[in-house]
Amino acid sequence: MSKVLITVPDELLDRIDRAAKARRTTRSHFLEEAAQHELGWPAADSMDAAVKRAREALASVGPFESADLIRRDRELRDAGRR
């Protein structure tokens, strides 16, 4: 993980520190989450929940080779173009 040095107005830093304290987190973690939110990154807990849902949805499918599925889809697509 990289470290950065940034300059912000004192009033903003005070607000950041108060918000971080209210959330019982660090300034760095607060700023990391704020940047991720601004950039449209999903929260870690929502990603974990999505992975869990995907695993549950695929649990009954059994093992498969993804290359075979892709090949079949391409063949069906290409057959429709003829």
The Cα–Cα gap between 57 and 47 comes to 15
What distances in angstroms separate CA 82 from CA 26, 75, 77, one per listed residue?
Answer: 60, 11, 9
Q: What is the pLDDT of residues 4-61, one digit of tens each?
A: 999 999 999 999 999 999 999 999 999 999 999 899 888 888 889 999 999 999 888 8
Nearest to 30 by CA among 52, 8, 47: 8
Residue ranges of domains in the chain: 10-80
Q: Is the pLDDT of residue 82 over 70?
A: no
Q: Give DSSP secondary structure letters for 32-78.
A: HHHHHHHTTPPPHHHHHHHHHHHHHHHTTT----HHHHHHHHHHHHH
Q: In the prediction, which pLDDT does 13 show?
A: 97
Average pLDDT over all residues of the chain: 92
The pLDDT of residue 81: 76
Tokens of 77: 């697509």
